[in-house]
């Protein structure tokens, strides 16, 4: 039987951070060994359980991740790009796996993550849910089957506190559609329409972002042609689906070699 894995959660005061803490606490295969928040946050120095409004857990919230890596097997991180890069370098240096759910990372920022040659074992995905990763695969297959007579639009909706757009999941879906078509997303992406934009260019992949209320996450990929539309859809009604996916990814890292992986690897859906 696999040993219980020691886990560190970063950005622990946020909605995802607290959901991850609760998900780990409910798991028989994992336990929390560290909780990290940004410097100056009111939770730093406090017992995590008390900070969350419950009983003390014996885990103190720290601002320096190096303090908690000694007993850790994996770091789970849904924060911001700059923080994620720093956490990733610290994790790699300590021989600790890093599961990244941070969204809004540019290609340049992703390139700053430490490579496998530096001991980095990273699982990174714009969305950790099983359903979304199945949707990614379906999007790729449908895009490959349909020609440019079918316009592709990715429509996403999230709560009013989300700071990046398009969402990381929307970009995953756009990448899948572009790969299915055999094109580079950057060359065909249309992310902003305002005013007199002219007719839609053939072959482009459009994005639309909706922000409002407490929407957890909704993603549609529309293939629209003359006379018909095909829509692939995923709706997340509870943030726990992302926490459960992140925990699954964290548990999957046990015994894995350094490298950069994604949720398709975790779910056994990666094409060889």
The structural domains of the chain, ordered by start, are 5-124+239-266 (3.40.50.720), 130-236 (3.30.360.10)
Q: Between the CA of residue 209 and those of 132, 159, 184, 212, what are the distances in Å? A: 17, 11, 21, 10
In the prediction, which pLDDT does 1 show?
47
175, 99, 173, 137: which is closest to 270 by C-alpha?
137
Tokens of 231: 């829509």
Q: Active site includes 31?
A: no
Mutual orientation of helices 130-145 and 240-252 as an angle, nearest 10°? 90
List the catalytic residue out of 31, 159, 162, 260: 162
Tokens of 191: 């992310």
In the prediction, which pLDDT does 54 show?
95
Q: Active site includes 158?
A: yes
Report the distance separating Cα 242 and Cα 129, nearest Å. Answer: 5
Ranges under pLDDT 70 in the chain: 1-2, 271-272
Report the distance separating Cα 246 and Cα 243, nearest Å. Answer: 5
In the prediction, which pLDDT does 127 show?
86
List the catalytic residue out of 140, 158, 234, 248: 158
In the prediction, which pLDDT does 239 show?
84
156, 162, 155: which is closest to 214 by C-alpha?
162
In the prediction, which pLDDT does 192 show?
81
């Amino acid at each position: 039987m696999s040993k219980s894995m020691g886990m560190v959660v970063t950005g622990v005061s946020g909605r995802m951070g607290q959901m991850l803490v609760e998900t780990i606490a409910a798991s028989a295969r994992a336990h929390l060994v560290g909780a990290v928040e940004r410097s100056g946050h009111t939770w730093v120095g406090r017992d995590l359980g008390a900070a969350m409004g419950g009983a003390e857990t014996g885990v103190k919230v720290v601002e320096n991740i190096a303090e908690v890596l000694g007993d850790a097997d994996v770091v789970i991180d849904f924060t911001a790009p700059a923080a994620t890069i720093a956490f990733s370098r610290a994790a790699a240096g300590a021989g600790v796996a890093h599961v990244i759910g941070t969204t809004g990372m540019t290609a340049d920022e992703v390139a700053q993550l430490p490579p496998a040659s530096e001991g980095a074992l990273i699982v990174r995905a714009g969305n950790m849910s099983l359903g979304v990763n199945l949707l990614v695969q379906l999007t790729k297959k449908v895009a490959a089957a349909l020609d440019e007579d079918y316009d592709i639009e990715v429509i996403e909706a999230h709560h009013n506190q989300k700071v990046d757009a398009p969402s990381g999941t929307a970009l995953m879906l756009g990448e899948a559609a572009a790969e299915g078509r055999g094109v580079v997303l950057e060359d065909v992406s249309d992310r902003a329409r305002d005013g007199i934009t002219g007719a839609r260019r053939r072959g482009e992949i459009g994005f639309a972002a909706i922000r409002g209320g407490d929407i957890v996450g909704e993603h549609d990929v529309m293939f629209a042609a003359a006379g018909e539309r095909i829509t692939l859809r995923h709706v997340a009604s509870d943030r726990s689906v992302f926490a459960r996916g992140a925990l699954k990814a964290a548990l999957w890292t046990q015994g894995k070699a350094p490298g950069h992986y994604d949720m398709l690897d975790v779910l056994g859906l990666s094409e060889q």
